[in-house]
């Protein structure tokens, strides 16, 4: 067994980590329980020594008095204590299997991810940060992650078990990620980016569900995430242009655990808007506010969760401020997040192989009257009011962008 501790991390250089490290769900219950009990002997050695002293003391007492009552009681108490540990580990394994929970190790910490439905859809269940982790132990075929035992830490004192063959091969990568995470903010400042494979999967998802694209408005200066915008041209099937961000989902949103798990909300998102097919997208036109404002709206919306350390989701409304419009030549003072049209209530998710799901939200412009109506009623009621029954949803949406 080898161990990494937050108190003393080895200096590791030359480590290249292109992807988050994703592990599979343990396949064998008995193997998982056996490894967990075995690890317990090393994690709490003082407790096990104390148990041994109790047994020896009880045995000596009974030998002196020619009876074995105390030893039997002591043995039963220890059996109950160890049995409770076995019960807890068995329950943990059951939750893994039932919820499809698997661990992912990244620069953010050790994330436990649940497979929310049969299609994939990955939801973060817990994410102990590196600063909250006490130790990581490496055995031949499993890794044990010990969270610090403090009241201010969720799941404090808990152990996470990762079943993997040749566990030591991950030691340098984990040591590097841990050391990087513990650096001062000034030292580790940098962009939050998709990995190369994640970005490809996002682009493939956009091409499949929104349309193929070649032109991308690349961001020149990126303070937090690198936020590009894919420009999907109109086609025979789609008589409109689609703009879609690429990069916002590299930064997880700060969604509360209860909200995220109860409603199955991915904590990453990209944003979409539709434009009339004749919208000008050349470099010269995009210097004009009349044509650039949807791009600015996309970027501002995408960065809002970062700026506010909060989150955005279906039905949320945001605006530039009291009395301000999104742009001077349009009557809209806010935006509403919905599912991509024409099905405003059907969410779309890109499920990445790294164990992340990214929601795609449509940015829907609102007038002040529509915003008030939404506040008084609901998102569904407002959508029904704007889009009458049997209307051409996309035609109405595009006409609103023209007005």
pLDDT at residue 185 in the model: 61
Of the listed ranges 58-67, 141-150, 258-267, 297-306, the least confidently predicted one is 58-67
* Span 273-319, pLDDT tens digits: 999 999 999 999 999 999 999 999 999 999 999 999 999 999 999 99
Mean predicted lDDT score pLDDT of the chain = 89
Strands of 9-108, DSSP E = 21-22, 102-106
* Span 320-377, pLDDT tens digits: 887 789 998 899 999 999 999 888 888 899 999 999 999 999 999 999 999 999 999 9
Q: How far apart are CA 130 and CA 148, in angstroms?
A: 10
Q: How far apart are CA 29 and CA 24, in angstroms?
A: 14
pLDDT at residue 189 in the model: 58
pLDDT at residue 116 in the model: 81
Of the listed ranges 47-51, 126-130, 190-194, the least confidently predicted one is 47-51
Every domain of the chain and the residues it spans:
2-187, 196-402
Q: What is the mean pLDDT of residues 19-25?
A: 91
pLDDT at residue 119 in the model: 61
- What is the value of pTM for the model shown? 0.86
pLDDT band per the 50, 70, 90 thresholds, residue 5? very high
pLDDT beyond 60 at 188: no
Using CA atoms, how far residue 138 sits from 62, 161, 177, 239, in Å, is: 40, 10, 16, 56
Range from 8-22, 62-76, 85-99 that averages highest in pLDDT: 8-22
* Span 305-318, pLDDT tens digits: 999 999 999 999 99
Q: How far apart are CA 371 and CA 327, in angstroms?
A: 16
pLDDT at residue 151 in the model: 79
Please, which residues have CB within 8 angstroms of residue 39's CB and are 6 or more apart in sequence? 137, 139, 142, 144, 159, 161
Using CA atoms, how far residue 245 sits from 205, 239, 312, in Å, is: 12, 20, 15
pLDDT at residue 187 in the model: 55
pLDDT at residue 92 in the model: 79
pLDDT band per the 50, 70, 90 thresholds, residue 267? very high
Half-sphere exposure of 244 (CA within 13 A, CB side): 29
pLDDT beyond 80 at 51: no
pLDDT at residue 118 in the model: 62
Q: What is the mean pLDDT of residues 132-145?
A: 92
pLDDT band per the 50, 70, 90 thresholds, residue 403? low
pLDDT at residue 68 in the model: 66
Percent of the chain topping pLDDT 90? 58
* Under 8 Å between Cβ of 260 and 123: yes
Q: What is the mean pLDDT of residues 50-68?
A: 78
pLDDT beyond 90 at 178: yes
Nearest to 255 by CA among 129, 156, 126, 384: 126
* Span 372-396, pLDDT tens digits: 999 999 999 999 999 998 899 999 9
Which of left, alpha, beta for 159 (phi over 0: left; psi -120 to 50: alpha)? beta
Walk across the sheet containing 109-117 and list its strands: 21-22, 102-106, 109-117, 120-126
Q: What is the mean pLDDT of residues 91-113?
A: 88
Higher pLDDT, 384 or 56: 384
């Amino acid at each position: 067994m080898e161990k990494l501790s937050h108190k003393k991390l080895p200096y590791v250089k030359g480590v290249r980590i292109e992807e988050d490290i994703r592990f599979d769900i343990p396949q064998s219950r008995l193997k998982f329980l056996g490894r967990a009990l075995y690890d317990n002997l090393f994690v709490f050695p003082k407790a096990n020594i104390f148990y041994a002293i109790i047994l020896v003391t009880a045995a000596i007492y009974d030998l002196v008095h020619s009876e074995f009552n105390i030893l039997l009681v002591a043995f039963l108490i220890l059996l109950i204590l160890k049995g409770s540990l076995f019960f807890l580990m068995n329950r943990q394994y059951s939750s893994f299997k039932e919820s499809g929970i698997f661990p992912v190790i990244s620069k953010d910490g050790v994330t436990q991810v649940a497979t929310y439905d049969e299609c994939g859809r990955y939801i973060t269940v817990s994410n102990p940060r590196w600063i909250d982790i006490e130790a990581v132990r490496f055995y031949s075929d499993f890794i044990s992650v010990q969270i610090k035992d403090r009241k201010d830490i969720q799941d404090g004192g808990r152990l996470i078990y990762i079943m993997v063959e040749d566990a030591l091969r991950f030691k340098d990568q984990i040591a590097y990620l841990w050391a990087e995470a513990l650096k001062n903010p000034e030292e580790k400042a940098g962009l939050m980016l998709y990995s190369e494979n994640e970005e490809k999967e996002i682009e493939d998802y956009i091409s499949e569900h929104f349309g193929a694209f070649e032109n991308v408005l690349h961001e020149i200066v990126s303070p937090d995430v690198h936020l590009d915008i894919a420009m999907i041209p109109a086609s025979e099937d789609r008589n409109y242009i689609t703009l879609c961000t690429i990069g916002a989902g590299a930064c997880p949103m700060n969604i509360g655990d209860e909200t995220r798990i109860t409603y199955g909300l991915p904590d990453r998102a990209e944003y979409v808007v539709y434009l009339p097919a004749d919208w000008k997208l050349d470099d010269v036109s995009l210097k004009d506010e009349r044509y650039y404002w949807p791009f600015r709206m996309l970027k501002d919306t995408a960065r809002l969760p970062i700026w506010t350390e909060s989150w955005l989701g279906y039905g949320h409304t945001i605006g530039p401020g009291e009395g301000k419009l999104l742009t001077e030549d349009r009557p809209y003072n806010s935006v509403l997040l919905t599912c991509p049209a024409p099905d405003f209530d059907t969410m779309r998710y890109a499920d990445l192989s790294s164990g992340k799901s990214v929601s795609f939200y449509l940015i829907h412009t609102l007038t002040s009257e529509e915003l008030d109506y939404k506040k008084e009623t609901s998102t569904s009621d407002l959508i029904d009011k704007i889009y009458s029954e049997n209307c051409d949803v996309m035609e109405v949406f595009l006409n609103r962008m023209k007005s």
